[in-house]
Structure 1
Amino acid sequence: MSILDGHKPFNLYPDAFDMVAVDSKPNVLKNLSEYPEVRRYLAGKSLKTKTVYLSALRKYVEFRGLTPTELIDEIDADRQLPVRDRGRVEHHVRRFIEYLQRDYELKGKDGLPSGVRGMAPKSVSAYTGAILSFYGANNFQLKIKTPRGAPKKENVRKPLRADSVKRLVDHAGSLRDRAIILMMFQSGMDISTVCRLDYGDVADGLRRGECPLAINTVRGKEQVAYVTFIGRDAVEALQAYLEQREARLGPIALREPLFIKEQNKIALRERISPKNIQDMMRQLAVTAGVVTDAELDRADINPCSPHALRAAFSTIMKLEGVNSEVVDYWMGHCVPYDAAYFVSIVDELRGIYAEREGALSINRAVEQVQQLAQKYNGKMETYDEIIERQASKIQRLETELDQVKQSQEQLIGNEIIRALDNPEIGERVVGALEKLQKEKENRRI
């Protein structure tokens, strides 16, 4: 007898989804990762991915009222049916997607039900992909397209450039925040990688005075070891932060976190978290005037998030002509071939970075003005002075042109009078004038 035999029919578009209680199996959700089907599902995944996958599977198990083993048994039985009778599992997954979109009740900041229903499109997409991966990891592929809601225009990230980053840095509440912003902008590191950095990752380079400063790290999401760089702005901000921290807490051990939490401007020895940086950037974006309170209220994300700094690094470096694979390597993406090739040419990569560092400098424009001021010894004309000088020059040229015209008219008149003094020429001129007069009178007739 098939597991599907006797299964009650269901409505593909119910007004409310019936959540099947899992009370009869109290340990299912608690011990989810102990099922062999789930272990296979999570194998080789990063900690962050495992967290998302388990969260999605818990909701799906609760929605279906089946254990992970029963879910796989169900689809195994479904695939043994005639082709025209298959597809019940796909219907259940589609119902689950609709439940997430319409009926799932979100929780508030206090962890209690908020009364708001329906997940954000990005979350629905992530959870759907996770459930499809669960079936795929257990050798069953579902032909379901992952829903991808059209991005809201309010969620478009700000295209940050050096001037916007300078405003963020100028309004930063601490030396630590200044260093974090500049490191993300000038290196392309993601927020999690920045949080995982230890003091030992930069200590030798700072001691040797390296600039650009090479940072050897591993990106957790891709499990990729790579090298990236930070420029002079970030190096100086990092040095200022570390000096202040040492003055407060004493020497920093190589294995201590590079960035630590601060509470009421009191430094703690606890490693900073991605949420700490997200919250800092959200508040700072408004304070610096990069986004408004209204824009944040309308958007589901912070348009000036840490990821916007990472995206700015990528865009600027590519616009500066750096090879896309080199930029991807600097950002910790998987590259088409062994990253060991790039590691072996760190000095060459440093040279490529150094040539384009100016495009990432928040102080470049200020420095250029200062250099010009020194060159002209403070005698640079203002815009108004230039306009006034040009207007005076134009007026002088117009006067000279009028004088030339008057001189030419006077010269022509004198020549005509002189010619008429000759009797022969005078008779010809008079005759021509009389002829013109007659022709004019004939046209009137």
Structure 2
Amino acid sequence: MVDLENQDSIKRMLTGISAKKGRAVSESTRETYFIYIRRFCDFCGKTPDDLIDDRKKDWKSDDIFIRRRHEEKVKEFADYFRGEGYSSNTIATAVGAVKSLYSSNYHPMIQVNIPSGHPVREYKIPTKEELNQVIDSAMPWHAEFMTLTKDCGISLQDMLALKLGDGSPVYGSIKDQLKKGWVPIHLNITREKTRFKYHTFLGEDSYEMLNNTATLQNSSNKRIFPYADSTIQDAMKALGDKRGWTSFTPYSLRKWFRTQLTLSDMNEALIESMMGHSLGKVKEAYLVPPPQKLREIYEKHYPALKL
């Protein structure tokens, strides 16, 4: 895999973004741009520097179709994302990152009409160090909530519905897996929002957190987190406000989960599936392996999530 940091075109882009914003590029912005630029490079079979070099050559042509070849490629890239089921906001973000690469290298895209999507809220995505610090400073119940969420990436509604009696048809309930020392803990969840069934896992950090609390003393039918949505949201906002963060919410932890595993080169379809996003019955049948194999894949990539 090409090291984006060492590409001249990427250095130029980051310098341009920094100059435009009047401040250093945040780690979350850098990671977002890198994710989608790397996807575009894989889509084209080129490095960022190769793409800019090709653009320079194409721009000298008298043939309008050769000159616009990269615009066509970006449209194909957007269509590919759309076919994969990504939202208009995600597509707009991906295309925006690619367009920024070209414009920062003095060859801006022309007439790339991609739907802009709805206004996207900027969520705080902490670094590993920041997340570790904020969890250490939180109340025990809230630290437990954040640890479990960052390990499995599930929604606030699904997390609040989780009981110790829930778990796995293969490995047993969460309570059983904790008692047997099985890590990662397998969860087979029915999503509250869509009733879609999916598999995800709780890693070593969650296992240690659950074993270090009084959780195991609870009834299997009792929710692990007997709180309202607003209680969680308010608690996270308060933690973020103390650090000068804007929009630090449970969704920040879901985005953190996705970002960390994507940077670890985990298959993106599996990441989406573990977050409770349906891929469609046909794709799920072909792309999502049985729980035993998925458990191995999660364990392999867990260092990206471990604090």
> Structure 2 length normalisation: TM-score?
0.55
Q: In structure 2, do the counterparts of structure 1 residues 343 and 208 end up closer, same or farther at CA, with 3 Å as the change threshold?
A: farther
TM-aligned CA deviation for residue 342 of structure 1? 7.3
For residue 181 of structure 1, the aligned residue among 132, 143, 146 is: 146
1:324-376 CA-to-partner distances (Å, cap 9, x unmatched) read 111111001011335567786111111111111111111xxxxxxxxxxxxxx
Q: 1:226 pairs with 198, 202, 214, which one? A: 198
Counterpart of 2:297? 352
Distance 1:150 1:191 in 2: 22
Report the RMSD for the aligned CA atoms in angstroms.
2.4
Hey, what's the Cα distance between the residues in 1 that align with 2:197 and 2:286?
12
1:196 paired residue number:
161
Q: Distance in 2 between matches of 1:345 and 1:178?
A: 31
Residues 135-174 of structure 1 mapped to structure 2, 5 A cutoff: 150-151=119-120, 155-174=121-140
Partners of 2:118 and 2:292 in 1: how far apart? Answer: 44
Distance 1:341 1:279 in 2: 40
Change (3 A) 1:277 1:341: farther
Unaligned stretches of 5+ in structure 2? 1-115, 167-173
Specify the code of the residue in structure 2 equivalent to 1:273. Answer: A
Contact kept? 1:182, 1:234, Cα under 8 Å: yes
> Quick one: percent identity of the two aligned structures?
25
Structure 1 counterpart of 2:268, from 309, 318, 324: 324
With over 3 angstroms needed to count, the CA separation of the structure-2 counterparts of 1:343 and 1:255, relative to structure 1, is: farther
Q: Is 1:280 equivalent to 2:235 in the alignment?
A: yes
- Among candidates 222, 242, 250, match of residue 306 of structure 1: 250
Runs of 4+ in structure 1 off by over 3 angstroms are 147-151, 338-344
Closer/same/farther in 2, CA of residues 213 and 342 from structure 1, 3 Å limit: farther
Structure 1 unpaired stretches of 5+: 1-146, 261-271, 297-302, 363-445
8 Å CA contact 2:270–2:288 kept in 1: the answer is no
Length, aligned pairs only: 185
Check whether the contact 1:229–1:350 (CA below 8 A) recurs between aligned residues.
yes
1:147-206 Cα deviation digits (max 9, x unpaired): 97645xxx41122232221011111122x2111101111101110000000111211211
Q: Name the aligned partner's letter for residue 122 of structure 2.
A: V
Change in 2 beyond 3 A, CA 1:274/1:335: same
Trace 1:68-107 onto structure 2 (pairs within 5 A).
none
Distance 1:340 1:168 in 2: 39
Q: Report the TM-score when normalising by structure 1.
A: 0.39
Q: Tell me: CA distance 1:206–1:223, structure 2 relative to 1, closer, same or farther (3 Å).
A: same
Return closer, same or farther for 1:163/1:218 CA change in 2, 3 Å cut-off.
same
| Cα shift at 1:310 | 0.2
Q: 1:167 to 1:161 in 2, by over 3 A?
A: same
Map Cα deviations across residues 372-394 of structure 1 (whole Å, 9 max, x no partner).
Answer: xxxxxxxxxxxxxxxxxxxxxxx
- The SS at the match of 1:227 is strand
Counterpart selection for 2:180 from 198, 201, 208: 208
User: Following the alignment from structure 2 to structure 1, what is the Cα–Cα distance between the partners of residues 185 and 250?
Assistant: 21
Change (3 A) 1:343 1:257: farther
Separation in 2, partners of 1:323, 1:283: 34
Cα pair 2:269 2:287 within 8 Å, conserved: no
Q: Which structure has more RCO (C-alpha within 8 Å, separation ≥ 6)?
A: 2
Q: 1:340 to 1:177 in 2, by over 3 A?
A: farther
Higher-Rg structure is: 1
**Corresponding residue number in structure 2 for 1:263:** none
Whole-angstrom distance in 2 between the partners of 1:342 and 1:180: 29
Determine the structure 2 residue equivalent to 1:366. Answer: none
